[in-house]
Amino acid sequence: MTHISLDVLQKNVSAVKSRLTRAASSCGRDAKNIRLVSVVKTFPASYTNMAFSLGLTDFGENRVQEATNKIEQLAKLPITWHFIGHLQSNKARNAVTCFDWIHSVDSEKLLKKLDQAGAELGKAPQVLIQADLAGEITKHGAAVDKLRWLFEAGMRCSAIKVRGLMIVPPWNSDPEATRPYFQKLCEIRDTLKLDGVDEIVLEELSMGMSHDFEAAIQEGATMVRVGTALFGRRTK
């Protein structure tokens, strides 16, 4: 893995924040209302430590086991941890132990497992429902016609707090190719509101990554998940 220096990381953080601010300004939004989740999956704890020293406080991981040791190493830092990968129900308890946000809930079974773990551990992680808008069999996420049902199930949970939607569109190097997916997720959110789903569980939209987060912001993202633009390309 290529090492990144503090100076290079500082430049990258500045560049990403500038992009975020410009994107927000372009659509009349306040950048302060958009959460930058720095994706540190596969990178060592030292990268997170450096990024934290530069003012970043939200960090994303996609594997529970890999993240656990890193989170323990950095336990003294006031970091908000986000789980952004596919979560198997048998890892639900560990995820609740480690993470403040879980972005990738896509089944009632997983909702119930997380809620049970939260109640037993005295924790209340905030969760997002992952939608599958492309119908890709290799991707995870709930079908559009299942979303209202999942939100209704989420509102019945006693420990976890459902807060919104997440999407991982099919990869395309052209941000304009993913924009329609961001637009669709916003439309779905608005339709759910009209159908009577409480606005408090639809506040957040997690969408957009290093190459397309400007388009996501312009379409309403409240969280963007950025890794490569900050830390460079992963080698594993």
Type of residue found at 125 = P
Token representation of residue 173:
């190097």
Token representation of residue 209:
């990554």
Name the phi and psi angles at 145, rounded to 5. Answer: -75, -5
Percent of the chain residues topping a pLDDT of 70:
97
**What ranges do the domains of the chain cover?**
6-231
User: How far apart, in whole angstroms, are the C-alpha atoms of residue 231 and residue 3?
Assistant: 9
Per residue in 128-141, pLDDT tens?
999 999 876 657 89
Q: Which CATH number is 6-231 given?
A: 3.20.20.10
Q: Which of 171, 177, 174, 152 is nearest to 162 (CA)?
A: 152
Residue 234 has a pLDDT of 73
CA atoms within 13 A on the CB side of 74: 26
Per residue in 54-80, pLDDT tens?
999 999 999 999 999 999 999 999 999
Q: Which of 211, 121, 192, 118 is nearest to 161 (CA)?
A: 118
User: Mean pLDDT throughout 30-59?
Assistant: 97
Instruction: Give 50-58 contacts, CB < 8 A, sequence gap 24+.
Output: 50/4, 50/6, 50/9, 51/9, 51/13, 51/230, 51/231, 52/77, 52/79, 53/6, 54/6, 54/9, 54/10, 54/13, 55/13, 56/13, 58/82
pTM over 0.75: yes
User: Strand pairing partners for 59?
Assistant: 38, 81
Contact at 8 Å (CB) between 124 and 150?
no
User: How far apart, in whole angstroms, are the C-alpha atoms of residue 100 and residue 78?
Assistant: 11
Residue 140 has a pLDDT of 86
Task: Examine the pLDDT at 2 and tell me if it is beyond 90.
Answer: no
User: Mean pLDDT throughout 135-161?
Assistant: 89
Residue 4 has a CB neighbour count (10 Å cut-off) of: 17
User: How far apart, in whole angstroms, are the C-alpha atoms of residue 69 and residue 18?
Assistant: 32
User: How far apart, in whole angstroms, are the C-alpha atoms of residue 42 and residue 63?
Assistant: 9
User: Mean pLDDT throughout 180-208?
Assistant: 96
Diameter of the chain by CA atoms? Answer: 50
